[in-house]
């Protein structure tokens, strides 16, 4: 083995072919694992106490959850368009689409905050029952990822190299994917 091969930090094996920085893909994989564990826990609650699950789920705002799904899916499209324009070397359009994705991320948080406020006004909190403990835990953890993702979109818009754009938008798409799974698991599945 040559010195060049030993010192080559660009060889990440199978991760080398993924867009963006391979470390982000390790983070994404670990986050998907954590959210997967949340979904398993939530599903076990559904199986072990279906009556509590059904009664509590009926207190959720499916319209707000559906609207948030549309908002995040649209923001994912905006992030994909930012990648498209980055490849065309159109910095202005790249930044505009990233700003649009970030704006929709903020809109998601506003809708989620309104939904949380409604729950608290109804006297519902993580202490109400196990359903709401899991609800606030899962959606709150996801909201923290949205906040981090918005920050990441700002950074990659400012430092918009190809690798940064691909890395940041990969994280943003993970945030979208998690919500697309979370919405039916928490709000819809009976």
Mean pLDDT of 67-89: 96
Given a cut of 50, whether residue 96 has pLDDT beyond it is yes
Q: Which of 42-46, 90-94, 136-140, 149-153 has the lowest mean pLDDT?
A: 42-46
Mean pLDDT of 175-187: 93
28/136: higher pLDDT: 136
Given a cut of 90, whether residue 45 has pLDDT beyond it is no
Mean pLDDT of 11-26: 68
What's the Cα-to-Cα distance from 87 to each of 10, 90, 129, 148, rounded to whole Å? Answer: 21, 8, 49, 24
Given a cut of 80, whether residue 146 has pLDDT beyond it is yes
Given a cut of 70, whether residue 138 has pLDDT beyond it is yes
CATH class for the region spanning 21-188:
mainly alpha
Mean pLDDT of 142-153: 96
Given a cut of 90, whether residue 162 has pLDDT beyond it is no
Map out the domains of the chain as residue ranges.
21-188
Neighbouring CB atoms inside 10 A of 162's CB total 13
CA distance 115 to 55: 17
Mean pLDDT of 63-72: 96
**Residue 12's pLDDT band (boundaries 50, 70, 90)?**
low
CA distance 147 to 144: 5
Mean pLDDT of 18-37: 81
């Amino acid at each position: 083995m040559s010195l060049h091969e030993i010192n080559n930090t660009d060889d990440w094996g199978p991760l080398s072919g993924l867009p963006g920085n391979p470390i982000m893909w390790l983070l994404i994989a670990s986050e998907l694992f954590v959210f997967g564990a949340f979904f398993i826990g939530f599903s076990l609650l559904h199986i072990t106490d279906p009556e509590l699950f059904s009664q509590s789920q009926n207190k959720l705002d499916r319209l707000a959850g559906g609207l948030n799904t549309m908002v995040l899916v649209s923001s994912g499209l905006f992030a994909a368009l930012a990648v498209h324009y980055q490849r065309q070397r159109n910095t202005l359009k790249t930044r505009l689409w990233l700003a649009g994705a970030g704006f929709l991320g903020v809109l998601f948080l506003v809708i989620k905050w309104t939904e949380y406020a409604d729950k608290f006004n109804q006297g519902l909190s993580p202490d109400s029952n196990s359903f709401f403990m899991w609800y606030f835990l899962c959606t709150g953890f996801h909201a923290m990822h949205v906040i981090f993702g918005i920050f990441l979109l700002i950074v990659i818009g400012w430092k918009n190299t190809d690798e940064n754009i691909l890395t940041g938008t990969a994280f943003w798409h993970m945030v979208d994917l998690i919500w697309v799974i979370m919405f039916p698991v928490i709000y819809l599945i009976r």
